[in-house]
Amino acid sequence: MPDTIELLSRVPLLQDLGRAELEKLASRTRREHFHSGADIVEIGAPGRSLYLVTDGLVQVVYPSPLVDFELARLGVGDFFGEMALLNDKPRSATVRALTPVDLIALDKEDFRRVVGDTPGLALQLLAALSMRIRNADEQISTLSDQAVRDPLTGLLNRRAFQERRPPKFAGR
């Protein structure tokens, strides 16, 4: 089984870290395992750790009473949990193991310290967050379009016409 330093060196987010930085980071992490179907983090929970996927596949979902809406699937080399660590807000989604999953967890203060001390890591994190925001915008755009179009014909539906109708003028 690979050691933690070797696993960390394979994570694209950490590619700018040198051996000494990886060793320092490894000393602050812990390895975790989750079985298929297990919730790793739950929406609304406080953010305590960043997770790096070292084996397996996870699903990021926004749970609802009717159906869970899939936001993303993440695999080896991907990470999650950073948003709640950066903005001190509760988790905005649930992350569920789709297969047995091995993770490396980095607690909040250690995450903030390493990001502050490593400009290359901070830039990698910004690039990853930018892509996530872009993907979320595309999902919202798709859902908005689906909300105003008939799925069979592709024509605008009643909601679209009501939203585009000019407002009524009040009489004088």
Half-sphere exposure of 143 (CA within 13 A, CB side): 9
pLDDT digits (tens, 9 = 90+) for 134-155: 887 887 787 777 778 888 888 8
- In angstroms, the CA 98 to CA 56 distance is 8
CB atoms within 10 A of CB 61: 19
Residue 2 has pLDDT above 80, yes or no: no
pTM of the model: 0.78
- In angstroms, the CA 6 to CA 9 distance is 5
pLDDT digits (tens, 9 = 90+) for 12-55: 888 878 888 888 888 889 999 999 999 999 999 999 999 999 99
CB of 7 closer than 8 Å to CB of 54: yes
The confidence band for 117, taking pLDDT boundaries of 50, 70 and 90, is confident
CB of 130 closer than 8 Å to CB of 60: no
CB of 39 closer than 8 Å to CB of 136: no
Report how far apart, in Å, the C-alpha atoms of 122 and of each of 15, 21, 109, 149, 151 are: 11, 14, 15, 41, 42
**Token output for 136:** 């979320």
